[in-house]
Structure 1
């Protein structure tokens, strides 16, 4: 029994009442693993060897749980104790959801402060249909843009199109290649990945965005907010410049005399990244807002052909 005694000395004593003979047979099957056998060799084990390894691990875990065997800190078998209980995994997921929820709420609050401030706004462009876009300089030469328009849809309908059915946006907006919801944090908060399309006249070029989107309601008003976020499973993609949104927001509220129509206010706040002159970006972004609103109107017209305007 000398080899068995030596093999067990690395992890303390195991009482003979657990069946030393069975343990010795299993121990021989994994002795090479404990002495430094490499992972590729582990993958080439036969079925019996794998079964012996699994049985040995279960036996060790059982003895540890009863306080009858303590593995040393350097033991390669201590990985069996690193598995997180289900409640710890749930807590970690809950913490992640809380992070995105709070980030979405904070982005909306900050964006509303910008769009509702009265100082510094200048008329950028005015469309024949009555849409107007104002700009406001932030740090440096970077600007944010506020579009104001009226749309033939209720706030609830626009909420559905722009938030709950955001993955369908590429169907009516040719400037978007695709949008995918990567994570449903809650009914009012999601994490999305958006890829812009390569369209003629696109001065900024193709970009991708990883964003948290949040919505809330206050009486008859609907608020949509968003900002760039991070997700370990989706780092910046090869071939794309990852731009950053936010904080940005959209405010929807019914017209006083026409509850089936909405006042549409959109704060566009974007850092397109890359090596582009800021003067070019400041010209392209309000044009992109005007184009988006045009495509949205066409989308609404397909649902309400009697109200085309």
Structure 2
């Protein structure tokens, strides 16, 4: 994923929330969710449970079915305040991205592929009083949600081995089992209209029932300033929603919101042409990677 539910207490400072008792915290969350369920169809599909609410308030870690994630869970330690910043940032990115996806108005079809993949775009307010496009890809992949979670989050540093548009991704910081800070460098490939960029991002993952949510946003890390020779682009808030296909547990439906500021002095027309193409190319490479792993029995 070119640089990743839900921070549930929009507008409430997290340090203040941490001083509340568990029941007080849960009450605040329920009030916020109830408000969102009335206004956003996507939120209305989320079922309330004590365990789910607590997981997003940091009271318990979101459960994972994967062996890789369970190993990491077993060594989890309480987060320090400085690390909670990244967890908050990842959760907030997911919340904002889902708000964009839940608004069905204004989406225009950009590309429809023969395999059923569809890319739509929507104009959103941008910096300086202008507007920018965000892109939404929807498709079905021959892989379970767990397999996609492994490819897109747990093994993110391996992504360059199957996606030629990525030169490298390095995890700079682990913040619990569900949040990481990464540095990504895009590849200098023929036909790349945007050119080489680097990204410093927070990536966050969580799940509810059979759905998996991956989100991300640009971030800062004092030990990793701007790198010489690169244009630092920003991707986010962004998310990928992974849902099993009802009639086939070995297939998944993905919805990917791409919300990128490539920086530099590129014309909008070039950027708006390149980004949906990048989504489709990424998905093609992901399909090939999943097919190759399946052939090897992985």
TM-score calculated relative to the size of structure 2: 0.71
CA distance in 1, matches of 2:119, 2:280: 8
Q: CA deviation at 1:305?
A: 3.6
CA RMSD of aligned residues (A): 1.7
Question: How many residue pairs get matched?
Answer: 217
Q: Which residue of 2 aligns with 1:211?
A: 201
Q: CA deviation at 1:306?
A: 10
Matched, 1:184 2:174: yes
Matched, 1:136 2:126: no
- Which of 270, 275, 300 in structure 1 is aligned with 2:260? 270
Q: Which residue of 2 aligns with 1:123?
A: 109
Matched, 1:241 2:227: no
Greater than 6 Å deviation, 4+ residue runs = none
CA distance in 2, matches of 1:96, 1:137: 35
Partner SS state of residue 304, structure 1: helix
Matched, 1:108 2:108: no
Deviations for 1:151-182, whole angstroms, at most 9, x for unmatched residues? 01000110011001000000000000000000
Cα 1:141–1:173 shift into 2, 3 Å: same
List runs of 5+ in structure 2 lacking aligned partners. 1-76
Partner SS state of residue 94, structure 2: helix
Cα contact 1:248–1:267 (8 A) shared by 2: yes
Deviations for 1:98-153, whole angstroms, at most 9, x for unmatched residues? 00000000001100110121111000111111100000001224100000000010
Q: CA deviation at 1:231?
A: 0.4
Larger radius of gyration: 1
Larger RCO: 1 or 2 (CA < 8 Å, sep 6+): 2
Q: CA deviation at 1:279?
A: 1.2
CA distance in 1, matches of 2:184, 2:296: 32
Partner SS state of residue 80, structure 2: helix
CA distance in 2, matches of 1:214, 1:109: 11
Q: Which residue of 1 aligns with 2:278?
A: 288
- More helix per residue: 1 or 2? 1
Cα contact 1:252–1:263 (8 A) shared by 2: yes
CA distance in 1, matches of 2:271, 2:226: 21
Partner SS state of residue 85, structure 2: helix
TM-score calculated relative to the size of structure 1: 0.68
